[in-house]
Amino acid sequence: MFGSLFTPRHRTAALFPDGMDRHTHILWGVDDGASTPQESLAIIRTLKSLGFSGAYCTPHIKASCPGNTPDKLRRRFNELLSAAAGEAFKLELAAEYMLDDLFEEQLRRGAMLAHDGTHLLVELPQSCLPGTWKDMISAVRDQGYTPVLAHPERYGRILEQAELLELAEREGVRFQGNVGSLGGFYGKAAASTARELHANGLYLWWGTDTHNAAMARHMPLKP
Ligand SMILES: [Fe+2]
Q: Tens of pLDDT along 97-150?
A: 999 988 998 999 888 999 999 999 999 998 888 889 999 999 999 999 999 999
CB 62 within 8 A of CB 46: no
Residue 7's pLDDT is: 58
Residue 215's pLDDT is: 94
State which H helix or E strand residue 222 sits in. Answer: strand 221-222
SS3 93: strand
Distance of CA 175 from the midpoint of ligand 1 (Å): 13
DSSP code per residue over 98-145: E-SHHHHHHHHH-----BTTTEEEEE--SS---TTHHHHHHHHHHTTP
Give residue 161's pLDDT band: very low, low, confident or very high (50, 70, 90).
confident
Distance of CA 96 from the midpoint of ligand 1 (Å): 6
Distance of CA 199 from the midpoint of ligand 1 (Å): 23
pLDDT, tens digit, for every residue of 162-184?
999 999 998 899 999 999 999 89
Distance of CA 140 from the midpoint of ligand 1 (Å): 19
Give residue 8's pLDDT band: very low, low, confident or very high (50, 70, 90).
low
CATH architecture classification, 25-222: Alpha-Beta Barrel (3.20)
Distance of CA 87 from the midpoint of ligand 1 (Å): 23
d(CA 15, CA 80): 26
Distance of CA 171 from the midpoint of ligand 1 (Å): 22
Give residue 220's pLDDT band: very low, low, confident or very high (50, 70, 90).
very high
Distance of CA 125 from the midpoint of ligand 1 (Å): 12
Distance of CA 58 from the midpoint of ligand 1 (Å): 7
pLDDT, tens digit, for every residue of 22-34?
999 999 999 999 9
Distance of CA 113 from the midpoint of ligand 1 (Å): 14
Overall average pLDDT of the 52-65 stretch: 96
**198 has a pLDDT exceeding 80:** yes
**45 has a pLDDT exceeding 80:** yes
Distance of CA 23 from the midpoint of ligand 1 (Å): 6
Distance of CA 144 from the midpoint of ligand 1 (Å): 23
Q: Where are the domains of the chain?
A: 25-222
Distance of CA 66 from the midpoint of ligand 1 (Å): 16
Q: Is 199 left (phi over 0), alpha (psi -120 to 50) or beta?
A: alpha
